[in-house]
């Protein structure tokens, strides 16, 4: 098997794409961070907010994305679309 070296900038851009899409879809559905966080099993919006901002090295993992996709009734592929959003 071949070793793949992914530089940190590319990985950060990958995480940004995902978090931007989570934010975009959540806002399109008029769902608050707290509502989404509680729907996936959190008691506060702290983790979700940090993952959306990539703060404190937090980001969404596959389990988070799976739960969010179910909560928002969307295909998980939506999170990986390379869409430019304005904040």
Instruction: Classify the C-alpha dihedral 65-61-15-47 as positive or negative.
Output: positive
The reported pLDDT for the residue numbered 83 is: 63
Nearest Cα neighbor of 19 from 53, 46, 45, 43 is 53
Flag whether pLDDT at 13 surpasses 90. Answer: yes
How confident is the model over 16-31, as pLDDT tens digits? 999 999 999 999 999 9
Q: Are 79 and 18 in contact (CB under 8 A)?
A: yes
Domain with residues 8-80, CATH architecture:
Orthogonal Bundle (1.10)
Nearest Cα neighbor of 19 from 57, 71, 4 is 57
Boundaries of every domain in the chain: 8-80
The reported pLDDT for the residue numbered 5 is: 77
């Amino acid at each position: 098997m071949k070793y793949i070296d992914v530089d940190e900038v590319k990985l950060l851009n990958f995480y940004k794409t995902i978090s931007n899409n989570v934010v975009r879809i959540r806002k399109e559905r008029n769902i608050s961070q707290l509502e989404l966080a509680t729907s996936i099993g959190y008691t506060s919006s702290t983790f979700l907010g940090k993952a959306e901002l990539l703060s404190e090295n937090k980001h969404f993992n596959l389990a988070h994305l799976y739960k969010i996709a179910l909560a928002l009734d969307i295909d998980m592929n939506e999170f990986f679309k390379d869409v430019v959003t304005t904040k």
